[in-house]
Amino acid sequence: MNENGAASAPSFLTPPQEYALTITVAVVTANAYYIHPIIGEVADSFGVSDARIGIVPALNQLALAIGILLLLPLGDRYSNKALCIAFVTAQSVFMLGMALADGFVAFTIASTLLGFVTIAPYLIPAFASKRVAPERLGQVTALLTAGVIFGILVARVGAGVVAEHFGWRSVYWCAFALMAGVTLLLPLTMRTEGVGASRKVPQVGYGALILSVFTLARQHRDMLYSAIIQGLNFGAFIATWLGLALHLTGERLGYGVDMVGYLAGISAISIFATPRLGRWADAVGPRRARLATAMAQAVGIALFYPMGWNVWTVIVPLFIVNAVGPTIDVTGRMTFLSLEPDIRTRLTTTYIVGMFTGGALGSILGTTVYDAAGWLGTCALLMVFSLTVVALSWWAQHQWNSANA
């Protein structure tokens, strides 16, 4: 409150803060993706099949969805800074558990608990959206999304190379060291929320707060479309890399896990393309931009089967998919992060639950379909995901245009 008793507006983030938050998002996001290039090596280490090892990323994604549902709404009630510090600390503990796990069950439990507390990457965009000018929402959302992409990129490239030379457990020791560093620096990275930040929710109890997530979801059907679209998009993303890792390291092609990591380096194109596409989406509108990028991604996915039998030719579809795919997420978030600040975290809850439910589906299907039908089955699965994303993106735009005609 100012001296006249009026609520003072929270100050905007500075560019250094925006980049610091982006780095934070990158480090804490990476944890779920270290396993992708080394999944075959982890399976061999624990003596489990390709189909069974898919349980690890699937439960991680499902636990993340449950954690988002039960924990993320607290961001509309309590300090985002305090919540992020608590959850990042818990992530560090469970990452240590994965590094020390002496059996498949212990490793799976630690990974699942890690997923449950991976909340910080989804608190931060809602936090930032309240502290940027409306005309920069797409740009800053894209910057934070680029942080997610960078985290995934480092996880995949680093995990493949480190595991090839030092074994897969070294990957998780490195991850623990990164998490410990982020935990110590986070109080300096996140600004305490402005004294004037609106707080309409604290009066309700926890149960009512969770129930309000479902009420808001029913009231904002456009956000539900965005959640379903991103769920399918993310499911395709997970299935792509799990299937590709098993395909490249299988008997027919025989590449090492380091090659999977090197190919993951193609994701770097997203770091440069996504912020630019975010500014384009600011200009043309998120729904129109989403449909265009979904169609471009479908073209890339269609090339996976004919070009997926050589490590050099598979670069082409990977380049296309990684250049445009993340923008589907950016534009989906833009459809609701421009709404009232007091409901953004709870709307984000529904969106992220949908996203990681799709990720869990992609984790199970990505390994199971490959185990049953090989690369052809994986590519067919990806086309089903992609074409459904295109169809739903067109429908969401049509519904929006009709409602606002």
pLDDT digits (tens, 9 = 90+) for 173-232: 999 999 988 888 888 777 654 434 444 445 567 788 888 888 888 888 888 888 999 999
pLDDT over 50 at 68, yes or no = yes
Architecture of the domain defined by 15-191+204-403: Up-down Bundle (1.20)
pLDDT over 50 at 82, yes or no = yes
The lowest-confidence range among 11-25, 84-98, 127-141, 375-389 is 127-141
pLDDT at 176: 93
pLDDT class for 2, splitting at 50, 70, 90?
very low
Per the prediction, the chain carries an average pLDDT of 82
The lowest-confidence range among 6-10, 122-126, 320-324 is 6-10
pLDDT over 90 at 53, yes or no = no
For residues 297 and 323, give the distance between their C-alpha atoms in angstroms, rounded to a whole number. Answer: 9
What one-character DSSP code corresponds to residue 3?
Answer: T
CB 113 within 8 A of CB 200: no
pLDDT at 1: 42
pLDDT over 50 at 328, yes or no = yes
More confident residue, 394 or 272: 394
Write down the residue that tokens 């949908």 correspond to: 354
The lowest-confidence range among 33-42, 82-91, 138-147, 236-245 is 138-147
pLDDT over 90 at 22, yes or no = no
Q: Which range is most confident: 138-142, 222-226, 297-301, 371-375? A: 297-301
CB 5 within 8 A of CB 127: no
3-state secondary structure 242-260: HHHHHHHCCCCCCCCHHHH
DSSP states along 145-161: HHHHHHHHHHHHHHHHH
Q: What percent of the chain has pLDDT over 70?
A: 90
Compute φ and ψ for 397, nearest 5 degrees.
Answer: -65, -40
pLDDT at 161: 81
Mean pLDDT of 58-73: 86
| CA contacts within 13 A on the Cβ side of 215 | 8
Structural tokens at position 15: 């560019």
Sign of CA dihedral 221, 223, 224, 228: positive
Chain centroid to CA 244? 19
For residues 318 and 330, give the distance between their C-alpha atoms in angstroms, rounded to a whole number. Answer: 19
Residue range 210-221, pLDDT digits in tens? 888 888 888 888
For residues 71 and 356, give the distance between their C-alpha atoms in angstroms, rounded to a whole number. Answer: 14
pLDDT at 204: 66
pLDDT at 229: 94
**Whether the predicted model's global pTM rises above the 0.75 cut:** no
Single out the residue of 41, 209, 31, 208 nearest to residue 120, CA to CA.
Answer: 31
Single out the residue of 370, 364, 372 nearest to residue 52, CA to CA.
Answer: 364
pLDDT at 367: 83
For residues 153 and 74, give the distance between their C-alpha atoms in angstroms, rounded to a whole number. Answer: 30
| CA contacts within 13 A on the Cβ side of 101 | 23
Helix (H) or strand (E) holding 253: none
pLDDT over 90 at 90, yes or no = yes
More confident residue, 293 or 352: 293
pLDDT at 191: 62
At residue 162, the 3 state secondary structure works out as helix
pLDDT at 8: 45
For residues 173 and 33, give the distance between their C-alpha atoms in angstroms, rounded to a whole number. Answer: 14
pLDDT at 4: 41
| Alpha helices for 190-220 (secondary structure H) | 206-219
pLDDT at 218: 85
